Every structure is written in C-alpha cells, then in structure tokens.
C-alpha cells in the first residue's frame, strides 16, 4: 500500500468517504488467530491491536463509544506525522473516543478487507460499524473537527483549510490522499469548483486522462473560466500533448546533433514536464526563447505560460521560471 494507490474516483480514489465509506463491509470477515498484542490497561484511550484482537478492541469497544483505527506502517512518513496528532486530539476528548493503531505490515488482513490502498488511513467505527474516515496526514484542526462531528459536536471543518491541505498533498505527490479530501469536500459542497478541479488534477497525475475529462465535463459552462478549473484544464491539455510524443531520448539525441533544433527542444520540454521534471522543462523553453523569441509565433513563451498555469502560481518551478523569464524579457 502507498499514497499512490487508488483506482476510480469513487472507488479507492476519493472513495465514498463521509457517506457509505467506499462501500466497505459493515464488519471485517473473521481471520485466522495470531499472537495477541500486550493487553492494555483498563480505561486506556490509545492502544495497538492485532488481527486477532480487532473484533474485541474495535468492533465491541465501539459499542461503548466511537473508536478510530489508525492504519499505519513504520516506513510511512505521513503516518509518523499523523499519529501523534491523533493521540493528542483523542486524549483531549477525555474518553468520548478511543484510538486503536494497526501496523499494516504486521497485520495486513483487516486493511485488505476494508479496501485500504493508501496510508495513513483512519476509519471511525461506531456501534460495530465503519461509518466514516479519511486518508492523509491532516492538520490538528481538521482531525479535531472530524472527531467533533463523530461524537456529535457542532464544530465543522473549515473548507478553505481542508482544500489547502488537499492542494499541499497533491503538490507533494500524494494524489490518492488529495483525492480523498477533495471528495469529502464535494460530499459537503457538490458545486465546489476548487474541489472538482482538484479531483480532475488528481486524475491527470495518475494518468487517467479520460476520468479527468469526465470530471471537468461536470463544470457548468458559465464557470469554465474559474482559475482552479482553468489550471486543471491546462494540466490535462499538457498531459494529452505529452502522450502524443515519442521517448525523451529521441529529442535529446536530436538536440545533441543540432542544439538549434527548437522543435526537438520544445517537445523535450513537454515530455519532461509530463515526467514531473518541471524546472528542466522550463529551462528548455527559456533556452528557445533566449535563442529566438519569434520561433513558432512566440510558442516557447506561450507554452511556458501554460506550464505556469497548470503548476499553480505558488509552485516553486513557477516562481523560478517567472524570475528567469522576466530577466530575459527586461534585460
């Protein structure tokens, strides 16, 4: 399992989190016994569990109060960020909710039965049923809001903050985790363009261009120029453009033979961008612009601007590329 797992948006990608929770079974199927974890002290709010003890520690315990199950692994960096936050917030609720942690490497069966394909993953159980959940290392405020909702509190998460967290996850390469969060927002606000565009960008990042088209097709015509939608559309167009190109080494070979082959350099930039090599892609377009600003009717600069739009205004590659472009424009 990894943060890059996921299939369709509404399956493991986006799931139905906040609703039917991805269609997961009400209870995991019985599994073979294994060595039990050390017993927890009476009244303990946080504990580790095993496949063998899952029914007792989670399903039966959730009949007394909600139980959060934190699926994690020792190699998972975001898990190490989330777990202490979960522990802190759970303790602050003073027994209204408990936390059970499960190492998926030692005990993979439950996670497999629940269809978990990305960690960290947190599933909330109440009255023996899995009722809600989230993926990714959410900030403390969002974890608190999630538990508030779980135990009947009135506090709801701030949508802008949630979207910012999803955007950050996407920039860091966790498309599956970001998609889960965008899907949660759409569950609460079905017409939220930022979340819809974010979900489309997640599809682009995983190579599901048809899914991205379908998602963007849901945008009303009068909202087509929304900034987030335009950025998602630019990312999709770039991915489609790259899909029609040949291998990177072909363009590199052509450039080695003729450094003034601007078309080869242009195609190389598009291909590099598709591989996530943003700064290298920008540098090649800047080189074309430096050598011949008029080439292909200012094609290099126009393509670079499309890169910036797709990457977002605060992306490091965008900021660096804009600085370099400005130095060429105004030197």
Which CATH fold topology does 46-157 show? Glutaredoxin (3.40.30)
Give pLDDT, residue 331: 63
How far apart, in Å, are the Cα atoms of 128 and each of 27, 36, 55, 58, 213? 7, 20, 9, 7, 39
CB 248 within 8 A of CB 268: yes
Domain ranges, ordered by start, for the chain = 46-157, 160-242, 245-329
Question: What CATH number labels 160-242?
Answer: 1.25.40.10
Concatenated DSSP letters of 262-299: HHHHHHHHHHHHHTT-HHHHHHHHHHHHHH-TTTTTTH
Interacting residues of 253 by C-beta distance below 8 A, sequence separation 6+ = none
Same fold for the pair 46-157 and 245-329: no
Give pLDDT, residue 153: 52
Give pLDDT, residue 134: 87
Give pLDDT, residue 68: 95
CA 242 – CA 257 distance, rounded (Å): 22
Closest C-alpha to 29, from 60, 67, 55: 55
**Tokens in use for 35?**
């060595």
Closest C-alpha to 148, from 188, 89, 64, 81: 89
Token look-up 């739009």 returns 309
Which CATH fold topology does 245-329 show? 1.25.40
Query: Catalytic amino acids?
Result: 76, 79
CB 50 within 8 A of CB 37: yes
CA 315 – CA 188 distance, rounded (Å): 28
Give pLDDT, residue 41: 40
Listed as own residue / partner, the contacts of 321-324 with beta carbons closer than 8 Å and 24 or more positions apart are 321/278, 321/279, 321/282, 321/286, 324/282, 324/283, 324/286
Interacting residues of 228 by C-beta distance below 8 A, sequence separation 6+ = 193, 194, 197, 198
Interacting residues of 289 by C-beta distance below 8 A, sequence separation 6+ = 300, 301, 304, 325, 328
CA 331 – CA 326 distance, rounded (Å): 8
pLDDT tens for the 331 residues of the chain, in order: 333 333 222 233 333 333 333 333 444 544 443 343 333 343 478 999 999 999 999 999 999 999 999 999 999 999 999 999 999 999 888 888 999 999 999 999 888 877 787 899 999 998 888 888 888 889 888 898 889 888 875 334 568 788 888 888 888 889 888 998 999 888 878 889 999 999 999 999 898 999 999 999 999 988 888 888 988 998 898 888 888 787 889 999 999 999 999 999 999 999 898 887 889 999 999 999 999 999 999 999 999 988 888 887 777 888 899 888 888 877 6
CA 131 – CA 153 distance, rounded (Å): 16
CA 290 – CA 68 distance, rounded (Å): 57
Give pLDDT, residue 15: 38
């Amino acid at each position: 399992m990894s943060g890059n797992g996921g299939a369709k948006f509404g399956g493991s990608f986006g799931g139905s989190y906040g609703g039917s929770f991805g269609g997961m079974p009400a209870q995991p199927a019985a599994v073979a016994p294994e060595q039990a974890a050390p017993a927890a002290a009476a009244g303990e709010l946080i504990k580790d569990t095993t496949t063998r003890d899952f029914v007792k520690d989670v399903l039966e315990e959730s009949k007394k109060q909600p139980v959060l199950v934190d699926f994690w692994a020792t190699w998972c960096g975001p898990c190490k960020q989330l777990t202490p936050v979960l522990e802190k917030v759970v303790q602050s609720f003073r027994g209204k909710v408990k936390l059970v942690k499960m190492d998926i490497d030692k005990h993979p069966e439950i996670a497999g039965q629940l269809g978990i394909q990305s960690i960290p993953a947190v599933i909330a159980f109440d009255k023996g049923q899995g009722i809600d959940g989230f993926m990714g290392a959410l900030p403390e405020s969002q974890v608190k809001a999630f538990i508030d909702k779980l135990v009947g509190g009135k506090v709801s998460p701030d949508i802008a903050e949630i979207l910012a967290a999803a955007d950050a996850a996407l920039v860091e390469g966790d498309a599956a985790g970001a998609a889960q969060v965008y899907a949660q927002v759409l569950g609460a606000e079905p017409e939220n363009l930022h979340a819809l565009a974010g979900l489309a960008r997640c599809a682009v990042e995983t190579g599901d261009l048809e899914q991205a088209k379908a998602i963007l097709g849901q945008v009303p015509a009068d909202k087509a120029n929304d900034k987030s939608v335009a950025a998602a559309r630019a990312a999709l167009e770039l991915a489609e453009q790259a899909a029609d190109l040949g291998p990177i080494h072909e363009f590199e070979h052509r450039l080695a033979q003729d450094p003034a082959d601007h078309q080869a350099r242009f195609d190389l930039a598009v291909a590099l961008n598709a591989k996530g090599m943003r700064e290298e892609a920008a540098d090649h377009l800047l080189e074309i612009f430096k050598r011949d600003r008029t080439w292909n009717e200012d094609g290099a600069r126009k393509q670079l601007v499309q890169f910036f739009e797709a990457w977002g205004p605060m992306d490091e590659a965008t900021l660096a590329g804009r600085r370099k472009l400005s130095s060429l424009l105004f030197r």
